[in-house]
Structure 1
Amino acid sequence: MPSKTDNMPDSDFIIIGGGSAGCILANRLTADGTSRVLLLEAGPSDRRFDIDVPVGYARTYFDPRVNWMYQSAPVPSLDNRVIYYPRGKVLGGSGSINAMVYARGQPGDFDDWAAAGNTGWGWSDVLPHFRAMEDHDFGASDLHGAGGPLHVTQIGRDAHPICRAFFAAAGELGFPHLRDLNGAELEGVGHYQINTRNGQRHSSAKAYLRPALSRANLAVETGALVLALVIEGNRVVGVRYRRDGVERVARAAREVILSAGAIGSPMLLMRSGIGPAAHLREMGIEVRLDSPAVGQHLQDHICYDHMFEAKVPTLNSSLGTLIGRGFAGLQYALLRRGPLSMSLNQAGGFVRSSPGRARPNIQLYFCPLAYEKTTPDSKQLMKVDPTPAFSLSVSPCRPLSRGHVKLTGPQPEAAPEIQPNLLAHPEDMKEMLEAVALLRRLAATRALSAVAARETKPGPEVASDAEFERYIRSYTYSIFHPAGTCRMGRDPRQSVVDARLRVHGIDGIRVIDAGIFPTIPSANLNAPTMMAAEKGAALILGERNG
């Protein structure tokens, strides 16, 4: 039985997706009180204990109430394994369920964007927008902001002491220790910065959206599943969505802004008839605009781990026991400090896998904990053994492999076809083999040998390049940084949006999320995504104000 349809009053802007980008846009576009904004989010409020407590992402990782919990298609280059793809379905989006690492990427990443024809997206162009959003522990400087909405915490004070052994090991290989992994010099190792405030997660939903909720010109609807864009002629004029079983139509006097993420945004464009014409016809969707790049050029960061049993206490020694977890919980409840107040990714950095590399090409992670990853039917990410252990991980910064996002049907509830093609490009495997050789060199240093009892995974029996390649294809995984599926560029056949984030070939709509990245930044994507929202808001306000 069809549901009834309600019509909503016009807004100036409709934002689809209340994630890392959408919450920032909602704040910035309503700040001066002159524009009416409707923000639509398919998921619920972010006011949840497992979201507030930083280490709670171990639970939200597999919680269907706040997570789309997508699965990839079988990936041929990863032994046809199906890869788990969590995506936030909650205010704050994936920024409400991620590991909170705040890493902006390398200046060359953004200069590459500008060199490819995306005017206004070089490092000197985007740095002011990073600074505008920051309330950084290091205070104001040429590189950092203070007093901005988003708090950036330097975790060195509370990081586990075993991190010092990692820093010493890196020093033995010539990698310097950096006070600031978002500083002027990015080649080296240090403590990661994270988005927390007073020991709680500080997502864009908390930093930007909550302070704006009292504004009369902002309306926020959760549980609102957008079904399709409303297109009249050559202009997007609104959206059709479902909430509480009722279909509604909301119209935008100025623009619709699509901020549903690198998976969700291309899906909605295609369901609305904007995308590769042949694929749309295959799905039985009327073609409104043949835009071949929609859903194409999917890029993602992969990760690979080595695990070690330790001679000294690690987080396994506490979080792996009932008494230890109780003490950590009490420490957090009383002081908002301790292991529950941080990400598990406490240290790492950016290095070259070999001297011939032009710039750092590998991101390192050092985790003072080793754990078995659980499956999506579990209620939490990890199973922690009480035996002291730690892990070393590598993630290539700028992979060359490309995948796609496609529809599996025209219905809004149909899950996407995600084919990341991870490690499909031969250069990516070459880089990964260099990276695992680096892990072995780190493990062999005096500093890590002093704290590592033995390598438990993959173990010394894996030694040759051929053995490592087989192991890598069996155990490499995504670290959930999809990008590029609505990428920015000049050519409408090869890109989806222009440098002002307007969709090529149709009026009234922009895309502002990680899907617009022409090439993936060299680090975790939440900070660049939020920067893109700050810059996107500035572009829109500049046009509105003439």
Structure 2
Amino acid sequence: MGPEHAWDAAFDFVIVGAGMAGCILANRLSASGRFQVCLLEAGPPDHNPYIHIPAGFIKVGYDPRYTWPFKTEPDAATMGRPVVAQLGRTLGGSSAVNGFNYVRGQAQDYDDWAARGAVGWSYAEVLPYFKRSERRLALCDVNYRGLEGELPITDCDWRHPLCDAFIAGAASLGIPSGKDYNAGQQEGAGYYQRWIHQGWRVSAATAFLRPAKGRRNLRVIPRAQVNQILLEGTRVVGVAYAAEPGGPVRRLQASREVIVAAGAINSPKLLNLSGLGDAQQLQDLGIAVHQHLPGVGQGLQDHMMLRSIVRVQNAPTLNTTARGWRLWGQVARWLAKKPSILAISPSVAYAFSSAQAPGARADFQFHFSPGSYAAGIAGQLDAFPGMTLGFYQLRPQSKGHVRLASAHAWDSPVIQPHYLQHESDQRLVVEGLRQARRLLHSAALTPYVASDEAPSTQLQSDEELLQFARERGSTAWHFMGSCRMGAVDDATAVVDPQLRVRGITGLRVADASVMPAMPSGNTGAPTMMIAEKAADLLLADHQN
């Protein structure tokens, strides 16, 4: 792309992807009014009301109009099954269609990042960025929590006897309750903190983009899939996008930088399509190589979710409450701004526990819901009364990759997380299933248990439980690590600690793909932290 090319429009910064990171970046970079900023999103605007009603995730979380309909590659570890992995494709990204749980992870996670070469990303250094985004609407320790950010973080105001029994049962097994898992030690059990406020979902688009949309120096373009980063030599000069396959291609100039915030699947895909990646793989697809970066797409990880389901007696469950006249009663409560099932997370209560003795660093995150969903049917509740306890190992060792399937920009990439490939993941998934069984059969929950639906009580040996995991494991939608951040002299890293792509000028990546290791929990809050720090890095480098 030569300098003689006529651009369709010119900006200082062009941001690719309006997810959790992109919305924050658009807000922060446009706040001073000094820079012309453009935010591009492949999906449509977030006008669908189901996006904003928390229970609407059942409708939009699997809707291809608002999600990327990705599937992982079949793998022996999952018995040859592809795992369906819809990710957000609208303003707000996955924060607009998935769960709402606000989990930062453990302090040691970020100290480990710094030890791996991500200088400047220790817990003490990233804590201010966690605090900057959030407005904690509860009593809290202000040494850890933010009070003035745009994202309201609330405690669940809806209570259920099964959730209360789960938390009490966890306490009887040595997992304490009543603690803030985002301040100090993570281990404990309780009701989740979430980005739901006054009955509504508060996505990254609602919190960060909506207040900035009126700025004259910010342009937001939905239905704009970026399919190439444009370079002159080793300098990025802009991007090319289209609204649909075969549609007209538009080219935007970025006089300062392009920031890729398209997520752990689409960010490496875009780099590859632009000639940035493993040279041999690109040449095999007929793509001209601009920079040999063998780490692009490598190191992909995800939390593999396992769900235990129990048939319930002696208590109501969501399976009945969300149907018929009971549902209309819940709608009335929601309209009256009272606690309602329309304003809860898919998982309501949590437990963080260790595979070792209580009090050790947590290895598992458990998600409890007083309801259960029909196997293989997205968003449909079981016909029988049920409760679900899902879990994943917090820091898996198995790693996979994202690769281009072809040189055609509209084709989905090859996604291979290699779930359960590492022996330690196999051992811990078995221990997690055993802990889930103990939690579901605690003294507090036993009166409500009619029978175990999955896994069956007949499955007792390590081999049988591991086989269950292989047959039933699915995604937690926590893909990360595919454009890993590392030390300046780390040839396998894609970006340096300033998030600059190695060997390229004017290009950064700022999303979950840059995480050097999996954080201990949901990836939404850490992704927002990355965006906050990225904004500071960019503003510091472009003071003039």
Partner amino acid, structure 2, of 1:523: G
Deviations 1:496-545 (A, max 9, x none): 00000000111110000000000010100111001100111011112222
2:511 maps to a residue whose letter is D
Alpha carbons 1:320, 1:386 under 8 Å: kept: no
Matches within 5 A, 1:66-465: 66-138=66-138, 141-155=142-156, 157-243=157-243, 245-335=247-337, 337-355=339-357, 359-375=361-377, 381-465=378-462
CA distance in 2, matches of 1:525, 1:416: 21
SS in 1 for 2:502: coil
TM-score (norm 2): 0.96
* Mapping for residues 3-22 of structure 1, pairs under 5 Å: 7-22=7-22
Count residues with an aligned counterpart. 536
Gapped runs of 5+ residues in structure 1? 376-380
Structure 1 position 51, deviation (Å): 0.3
TM-score with structure 1 setting the length: 0.95
Aligned partners of 1:368 and 1:389 also within 8 Å: yes
* 1:309-335 residue CA offsets vs partner (Å, 9 max, x unmatched): 112323335335312222222222232
Tell me which residue corresponds to 1:520: 518
Name the amino acid aligned to 1:319: T
| 1:469-508 matched pairs, under 5 angstroms | 469-490=466-487, 491-508=489-506
| Cα displacement (A) at 1:358 | 5.2
Distance 1:356 1:290 in 2: 47
Determine if contact 1:13/1:253 at 8 Å carries over to the other structure: yes
8 Å CA contact retained: 1:296, 1:485 = yes
Preserved contact between residue 133 and residue 149 of structure 2 (Cα < 8 Å): yes
Q: Does 1:40 align with 2:40?
A: yes
Paired letter, 1:414: D
Contact 1:181 1:191 (C-alpha < 8 Å) held by counterparts: no
Distance 1:129 1:416 in 2: 32
Aligned-pair CA distance for 1:440: 2.1
Aligned counterparts of 2:213 and 2:243: Cα–Cα separation in 1: 20
The one-letter amino acid paired with 1:149 is: E
2:371–2:388 contact (8 Å) kept in structure 1: yes
User: Structure 2: which 5+ runs fail to align?
Assistant: none
Q: Distance in 1 between matches of 2:443 and 2:81?
A: 37
**1: CA distance, partners of 2:339 / 2:370:** 16
Q: Secondary structure at the match of 2:538?
A: helix
Identity of aligned residues (%): 38
Contact kept? 1:71, 1:84, Cα under 8 Å:
yes
1:445 Cα shift?
A: 2.1
Say which of 520, 539, 544 aligns to 2:542. Answer: 544
Shift of 1:194: 0.8
Other structure's SS at 1:400 match: coil
Question: Which letter does structure 2 place at the counterpart of 1:481?
Answer: H
Does structure 1 retain, via aligned residues, the 8 Å contact 2:30–2:215?
Answer: yes
Distance between the aligned counterparts of 2:174 and 2:442, measured in 1?
11
- Does 430-439 or 134-143 show the bigger shift? 134-143
The alpha carbon displacement at 1:373 in A equals 3.9
Rounded Cα–Cα distance in structure 1 between residues aligned with 2:523 and 2:129: 15
Secondary structure of 2:88 counterpart: coil
**Given that residues 175 and 358 in structure 2 are in contact (C-alpha distance below 8 angstroms), is that contact kept between their aligned partners in structure 1?**
no
| Cα offsets for 1:84-117 (capped at 9, x unmatched) | 1111110001111111111000111001001112
- How far 1:178 sits from its partner (Å)? 2.9
Give the deviation of 1:338 after TM superposition.
0.4
Residues 317, 304 of structure 1: CA spacing in aligned structure 2 closer, same or farther, 3 A cutoff?
Answer: closer
Distance 2:174 2:91 in 1: 43
Residue 378 of structure 1 corresponds to none
Which amino acid counterpart does residue 143 of structure 2 have in structure 1? Answer: D
